[in-house]
Amino acid sequence: MNEELERLVNQELGALEFDLVEFRRGGTKSRPLIEVRIDRRDGQKVTVDDCARASRAIEARLDGSALLSDRYDLQVSSPGERPLRTAAEWRRFIGRWANVLSPVHGGRFEARIVGVEAEGGADLIELELESGERRRVLLDAVKEARLAFRV
């Protein structure tokens, strides 16, 4: 049922030109909580109005389905420190800074995303540290990564 629910949310967001960044289901059986984090496909920051539009669209579909009880809570928000999981997400943010956790590369560090390429069937992320040093990191070696807030 979670997959069906996530698919419904994705369809509604796609129609509005938003990407689903994170989907969580929690709460109780009688009062489920659905948490949705969205991002804009045009690269602009997510606004309160964007969250309201997404929420209304998702609610309209949920209210007409039997996927949840009538007493669900839906929370739609911006991605905050957006997680980076797939090669496509890394490519989308080339030029931006990321906070990366990779035990193979000494733990946690910040670096600018320079590029993404496929090598031998694996995705390789090219990063540049503040010192100018470049690192090539296998995506599989990244335990966690998020866009870093830089002014």
Residue corresponding to tokens 């969580």:
24
CA distance to 32, 48, 71, 123, per residue, from 89 (Å):
29, 23, 34, 12
**Mean of per-residue pLDDT scores for the chain:** 90
What is the distance between the alpha carbons of residues 35 and 22, in angstroms, rounded to a whole number? Answer: 8
Residue 121 CB partners (closer than 8 Å, separation 6+)? none
What is the distance between the alpha carbons of residues 146 and 115, in angstroms, rounded to a whole number? Answer: 16
Q: What is the pLDDT of residue 127?
A: 97
Q: Which residues pair with 109 in a beta bridge?
A: 100
What is the distance between the alpha carbons of residues 59 and 86, in angstroms, rounded to a whole number? Answer: 28
Q: Tokens at residue 134, please?
A: 């470049």
Average pLDDT over residues 35-62: 91
Report yes or no: 68 and 50 within 8 Å, Cβ to Cβ.
no
| 103-138 pLDDT per residue, tens | 999 999 999 999 999 988 899 999 999 999 999 999
* Residue 93 pLDDT greater than 60, yes or no: yes
* Residue 149 pLDDT greater than 70, yes or no: no
* Residue 147 pLDDT greater than 70, yes or no: yes
Report yes or no: 78 and 45 within 8 Å, Cβ to Cβ.
yes
Domains of the chain: 2-77 (3.30.70.1350), 87-147 (2.30.30.140)
Residue 150's pLDDT band, with cuts at 50, 70 and 90, is low
